[in-house]
Amino acid sequence: MKPHPPRPGSRRGVLAGAAAGFGLLALRAMAALPAGNGARAKNIIFCFMDGGPSHVDTFDPKPMLKKHEGKAIGEDAVSKRSQSNAGRVWLGSPWEFRQRGQSGLWVSDLFPHLARVADKLCVVRSMVGELPLHGQQNLLLHTGRILGQAPSFGAWVSYGLGTENANLPGYVVLNNDWVPNGGLENFGNSFLPATHQATMFRAKGIPVDHITPSDSAPLQRRKLALLAAQDAAFAATTSDAAAIEAAIANYETAFRMQSVVPAVADIQGEPEAIRRLYGVDSADEQQRFYATQALRARRLVEAGVRFVEITCPSIDGNNSPWDQHGLLKRNHEKNARVTDQSVAALILDLEQRGLLDETIVLWAGEMGRTPHTPKITDTCGRDHHVNGYSIFLAGGGFRGGTAFGETDDFGNSVVHQPLDIHDIHATLLHRMGVDHEKLTFRHGGRDQRLTDVHGRVITELLV
């Protein structure tokens, strides 16, 4: 079913105006009062760690795993939400955990660069998912639903708040030339206007196809005017005029992007010290690509893009890079080498530019890894685990140097303050000044929202 047209003066009428560029920040009907100092975050950068980094090897230290390594987990530890049976054995972490910074936050040696910014990290150790399947958990993380068929988080943010720069889209995905499990629905607009779907920037070569115009600006403008007139005439004859209007708006945005995207995406003019900070000069090609995208993320939010997502490059052809069922030590270290320096640099760079207070950095995979394995070998790994895992947030009013929630002594399940992705979505929207219960779109006979019928703002995470 197509969405009902917005009533003049209604919340959706205001949002429709916002999508067209009117009053982007004056969305009083859905305004939320942020906790703490009252300032609102303006942007989100989502560092998507696809495949599921191991919580017990990164931010959730479990010395009992090492003490009981090789012992059977037993029936009491078996879960239907993870790959488990009573005969599996506990597997300790191959990395040491240390308390970091003035806060004493525990971070493993896997992340030496993030360890140096530990006082900026708000770690959530008590995330709980629904299904131990990459596609479903990716869709849950991005859309709030394991079946997808709903707008991505970035699309909701773009829809609710628009972009601060009319020459750039509100939602950009800095991709690394592959599509994660769950498909492009992870980045789609679904039933929201098409203007809110993600625009993809690739790491290799030209970031966006056809970004260099083949015609002069006056000629392009005449072509757009002709297309707009034809589309408007067609829209008058169809019941789905909103889709035609969204297509016209996308043509206009694409035209404007040609004048600004090449400059924003070009990091060559950045000071050498900044390029080194991110790792753009790395001998590792994958790290160079990731560093380039991380630096572009800062440039994009600086230019006014509301929501930027950075995906991980594939490791050894794996389309779920952190999915280490085997070779845990080797492959987690590869992923860390590719991403650790650049994510830490992003946080530091935002801070030194005075942008960290207004930019939220979210670091998350779709799940964690089992604290147990079928058998201890030199090549063993960890399997899918949604009973308890870790993410972190930095900047944007989140409480740095803290850990929220708790898993049991083995990291097998959450025992204190469980959260799900709806709670994180609600809290992130709250920090952006939006009430997650009021950011809605009429579709399928009811008002739809990112958090559906779930979610609560977790004020304990906020300054």
Give the tens place of pLDDT for each residue, 260-283. Answer: 899 999 999 999 999 999 999 999
**What is the reported pLDDT for 7?**
34
Per-residue pLDDT at 299 exceeds 70: yes
Q: Which residues contact 129 (CB under 8 A, 6 or more apart)?
A: 81, 137, 140, 366, 367, 386, 389, 420, 421
DSSP per-residue string spanning 217-277? HHHHHHHHHHHHHHHHHHHTTSS-HHHHHHHHHHHHHHHHHHHHHHHHH--TTS-HHHHHH
pLDDT of residue 76: 96
Give residue 325's pLDDT band: very low, low, confident or very high (50, 70, 90). very high
CATH of region 11-18+27-461, choose from 3.10.450, 1.10.3300, 3.90.550, 3.40.720? 3.40.720
Longest pairwise C-alpha distance within the chain: 73
What stretches of 360-420 show up as alpha helix (H) in DSSP? Answer: none
User: Looking at residue 180, what DSSP letter applies?
Assistant: -
Q: Quick one: how many helices (H) and strands (E) in the chain?
A: 11, 18
The answer for residues whose C-beta is within 8 angstroms of residue 33's C-beta and 6 or more apart is none
The Cα 294–Cα 265 span in angstroms is 11
Within 8 A by CB and 6+ apart from 100, the residues are 106, 107, 115, 116, 118, 119
- The reported pLDDT for the residue numbered 251 is 64
Distance CA 325, CA 135 (A): 16
Distance (Å, whole) CA 455 – CA 153:
14
Mean pLDDT of all residues in 57-68: 98
* pLDDT tens digits, 372-417: 999 999 999 999 999 999 999 999 999 999 999 999 999 999 999 9
Give the pLDDT score at 268.
95
- The predicted pLDDT at position 38 comes to 60
pLDDT of 173 above 70: yes
CB 218 within 8 A of CB 189: no
Crossing angle (nearest 10°) for helices 421-431 and 153-161? 20
Kindly write down the DSSP assignment for every residue of 275-306, as one continuous string: HHHHTTT-SSHHHHHHHHHHHHHHHHHHHT-S
**Contact assessment for residue 50 and residue 320, using Cβ atoms and an 8 Å cutoff:** yes
Kind plus residue range of the DSSP H or E element containing 445: none
Residue (of 321, 332, 381, 364) closest to 180 by Cα position: 321
Radius of gyration of the chain (CA): 22
Cβ-based burial of 193 (10 A; exposed 0-12, middle 13-18, buried ≥19): buried
Q: What pLDDT sits at residue 16?
A: 41
Q: Is the CB of residue 275 less than 8 Å from the CB of residue 281?
A: yes
Residue range 337-356, pLDDT digits in tens: 999 999 999 999 999 999 99
**What pLDDT shows up at residue 316?**
77
Q: Domain coordinates of the chain in residue numbers?
A: 11-18+27-461
Question: Residue 339 in 3-state DSSP?
Answer: helix
Mean pLDDT of the chain: 89
